[in-house]
Structure 1
Amino acid sequence: MTTVAPKPAVEASRPATKPTSIVQQSWIMVKRNLIHTKRMPEMLSDVTVQPIMFVLLFAFVFGASIANTGGASYREFLLPGIMAQTIVFTAFVVAAGITADVEKGIIDRFRSLPIRRSSVLIGRSVAGLLHSSIGIVVMTITGLCIGWRIRGSAVEAVLAFVLMLVFGFGMVWFGILVGSMMRSVEAVNGVMFTVLFPITFLANTFAPTGPMPTWLRVTAEWNPVSSLAQATRELWGNGPAAPPEAQLPLHHPILATILWSLVITAVLAPFALRAYARRTTD
């Protein structure tokens, strides 16, 4: 009786892989976040339903009580301010997303892949800016429907939107820092509402700073959000220049907004990256 020698095991063929650049990796992360939004459209409620509600409430409810806006109608005064608030809340979106990914173990899965750790942060940050940009577009359409107009040139109009994105990039680092330090999405919600709401209201976003007490007016006018709101108002022709007694940032709001964005990034980015690295290696 003859025996048949067993055939040598055939190794399973693996698909060929090729290295990808940081740009490709980051874009994949952006698409991943956008797919989540597509599958759960209710995630867009904060940049679709809420902006319309905020614009209408402030324009028709509070606007009737605020007449002194320096010559511009309250609706034209309001839109730049409420858009500035929306872009500030980019930090909220980024922080909640990072905390959720860490909680669910998604970051650990990413660490097992041949990708750079920074691509996760870049993808989350770009997705957060796109998320907030939807709110800006919705507010723009809503504002046009209720009588708001851009009265500056096309170049100035685009520059105002670019300034918002630049400032939003600075706020992204605050979101990364908070998202890396908090242990739950609920904690992120508590911290962000406690910090961001006072910052966005203690400014010239919804009401002029002139009638405020001196100490409060000075604080509000040095608030970076005030510089962003004032810059967009001047670029869109939605209000006069700052009065002579206003603080320095409001007399040069475009430059001040750029400088504030650079300062926020330079100060927060090292702490944010360190906190993220510590959180994702524990």
Structure 2
Amino acid sequence: MTTLRAGWIITLRGLSHWARQPAVPIFGLLFSVMLLLVFGLLLGGAMEVPGDGDYLDYLLPGMLTLAMMFGVEATATAMTNDVKRGVTDRFRSMPISAAAVSLGRAGADMVNAVSELGTLVVVGLLIGWRIDASVGSAVLAVALLLALRFAMIWIGIFLGIAFRGGGTTSAVQVLVWPIGFLSAAVVPVETMPDWLGAISAWNPVSATATAVRELLGNPSGLSGGLLDDHAVLLAIGWPAVITAVFLPLSARAYRRLRH
């Protein structure tokens, strides 16, 4: 059996689990929608964007980006559960490539990411968000969001194996939440103290969120600097670097699994 075919079969396995137990993906969607409504409607009235941009238009690309990043928790948890339940052992005993297992996990998670993006876009449009961009720019924005999610998948696989003994969710939340909010996702970096804004500007989440705002015609909250001038390039480069680092690390961790 080829690696791609085996990976596709494992992808279908993941999707069938969600179909039989839809609570996990549904709660994930509801959590993202809740965050959007809290920041957009509850707190949004007190938020200001430099340049007098509309905060809701500023917020939506950031929330789309955060949703892609927070997906690392679902990946890590699913991978840990497979290891603890012996599913990974069964895969390792089969005549399939080790890469097929990770590709299958990635395929299922990417399908989930697309559904989450679609849901947030619809909710955003319903509450007043507007897109001022060509179809080509919108497609590129979605591609950058999915590129970030793809990179997060490999971090999730690595962490899921590394923390397979327990505490995966807590460990991932401790890592992901500060990184997610220490960014330009929900507030402009220019409203932060200089030293904090400099750190935030180099955050991969800031790069993707700013690039998506630029491509969708939404306010960036920036008036210059590296992030403002090269957001799209950074949004391409960061996922590429993350994938290049964590894909081989996750593959090595998978090969070294022992029970």
TM-score, normalized by the shorter chain, greater than 0.5: yes
Cα distance in 2 for residues equivalent to 1:70 and 1:196 = 30
Cα distance in 1 for residues equivalent to 2:188 and 2:232 = 18
**Deviation sequence 1:100-124 (CA, Å, 0-9, x none):** 0010001111122222121111000
Q: Partner residue of 1:213? A: 193
RMSD: 1.5
Q: Partner residue of 1:243? A: 223
Q: Partner residue of 2:204? A: 224
Q: Does 1:27 align with 2:5?
A: no
Long gaps (5+) in structure 2: none
Shift of residue 241 of structure 1? 7.3
**Deviation sequence 1:207-263 (CA, Å, 0-9, x none):** 11112111101000111110100000010001157312x3x1332111111111111
Give the counterpart letter for 1:103 in structure 2.
Answer: K
Moved over 3 A (4+): none
CA contact (8 A) 2:185 2:209 kept: yes
**Deviation sequence 1:149-168 (CA, Å, 0-9, x none):** 11100000010000111111
Matches within 5 A, 1:6-21: 20-21=1-2
- Structure 1 residues 135 and 82: alpha-carbon distance in aligned structure 2, compared to 1, 3 A threshold: same
- Structure 1 residues 77 and 169: alpha-carbon distance in aligned structure 2, compared to 1, 3 A threshold: same
- Structure 1 residues 139 and 145: alpha-carbon distance in aligned structure 2, compared to 1, 3 A threshold: same
CA contact (8 A) 2:207 2:231 kept: yes
Q: Does 1:126 align with 2:107?
A: yes
Cα distance in 2 for residues equivalent to 1:74 and 1:241 = 9
SS in 2 for 1:89: helix
SS in 2 for 1:210: helix
**Deviation sequence 1:41-82 (CA, Å, 0-9, x none):** 111223322222111111111101102343321111111001
CA contact (8 A) 1:226 1:250 kept: no
Identity rate of aligned residues, in percent? 35
Q: Partner residue of 1:76? A: 57
SS in 1 for 2:191: coil
Give TM-score scaled by structure 2 length.
0.95
Q: Partner residue of 1:272? A: 250
Q: Partner residue of 1:252? A: 230
May I ask how many residue pairs the two structures share in their alignment?
259
Give TM-score scaled by structure 1 length.
0.88
Larger radius of gyration: 1
Shift of residue 25 of structure 1? 0.7
